[in-house]
Amino acid sequence: MDGLTDLWDRLLGAQPDPPPLLVLITGLVALTVVLTRLPWRIGRNAITIAHEGGHALAALLTGRRLQGIRLHSDTSGLTLSAGRPTGPGMVFTLLAGYLAPSLIGLAGAWVLGGNRITLLLWVAVALLLAMLVMIRNVFGIVSIVVTTAVVLGVSWMASPQVQAAFAYTGVWFLLLGGVRPVGELQTLRRRGQLPQSDADQLAWLTRVPGLVWVGLFGAINLIALLAGAALLTGPILSTASLPG
């Protein structure tokens, strides 16, 4: 019983405030990954996991039947669901993909604002395990298992300082990394290389031009980035503004 209580306290307890320098450095690290070619090529797999997870969750919430998720080595992905090919459920499912990384990052920033670092990591593990049962290809299984193992290992064995650095870097990366794919999407659309993109499927369903959907993705993700950054840096700014 005491062990269960200790585990519960560890999960829900608040950790100490991270050093302001850690918050800033982790943000710079995440920004460097997003802006640098090879690190982005590797890190983008995490964005794809969040993207496809967003499609999957939206499909379930709208009553569609989730059939499977595939993650590919080129950082693309595919989520298949069964149900009406038109209507609000399909629109919401398509809309969720490009928004998911940024919105997950915003939710993570809110949790970190309460210093619930361990809780954030364990929720991430739970979501990854839930997603694992729907993966339908080998690369996808390996990606989810490796990512889950890393997050679980940090949450269980790492020091509070390492947990904080890992969690803040991850949340910054989702917030910043959620913006770049929207620009990449429009670049590929302009070249005619992505005719079946989420934005173009939404355009077909709603008769609203695909460019409008791309703009909506970008606007929401930028708002999430600004709001998330405010949550993450708020304690720093409030401390700096205190007299003396």
Q: How far is CA 113 from CA 117, 163, 197, 229, in A?
A: 9, 15, 35, 10
In a domain, 15, yes or no: no
pLDDT at 1: 57
Q: In the predicted model, what is the mean pLDDT of residues 90-105?
A: 97
- Binned at pLDDT 50, 70 and 90, residue 6 comes out as low
DSSP string computed for 157-191: HS-HHHHHHHHHHHHHHHHHHTTHHHHHHHHHHHT
Q: What distance in Å separates the CA atoms of residue 47 and residue 97, rounded to the nearest whole number? A: 10
3 state SS of 208? coil
In a domain, 63, yes or no: yes
In a domain, 28, yes or no: yes
Q: Are 108 and 171 in contact (CB under 8 A)?
A: yes
Is residue 209 predicted with pLDDT exceeding 80?
Answer: yes
Cα 215 to chain centroid, rounded: 19
| pLDDT tens-digit map of 102-143 | 999 999 999 998 888 999 999 999 999 999 999 999 999 999
Is residue 166 predicted with pLDDT exceeding 60?
Answer: yes
In a domain, 117, yes or no: yes
Beta bridge partners of 70: 78
Q: What distance in Å separates the CA atoms of residue 207 and residue 201, rounded to the nearest whole number? A: 10
In a domain, 142, yes or no: yes
Is residue 30 predicted with pLDDT exceeding 90?
Answer: yes
Long-range contacts formed by 158-167: CB under 8 A, 24+ apart: 160/15, 160/16, 160/117, 161/18, 161/22, 163/15, 163/117, 163/118, 163/121, 164/15, 164/18, 164/22, 164/117, 165/18, 165/22, 165/26, 166/121, 167/108, 167/112, 167/117, 167/120, 167/121
Long-range contacts formed by 88-92: CB under 8 A, 24+ apart: 88/62, 89/59, 89/62, 89/63, 89/64, 90/62, 90/64, 90/205, 91/202, 91/205, 91/206, 92/58, 92/61, 92/62
Provide the residue range defining the domain that includes 189. 21-234
Sequence length of the chain is: 244
Q: In the predicted model, what is the mean pLDDT of residues 166-185?
A: 97
Give the residue ranges of DSSP H helices in 85-137: 88-113, 117-132
The count of structural domains within the chain is 1
pLDDT at 10: 63
Cα 87 to chain centroid, rounded: 26
Q: Are 228 and 175 in contact (CB under 8 A)?
A: yes
In a domain, 12, yes or no: no
In a domain, 239, yes or no: no
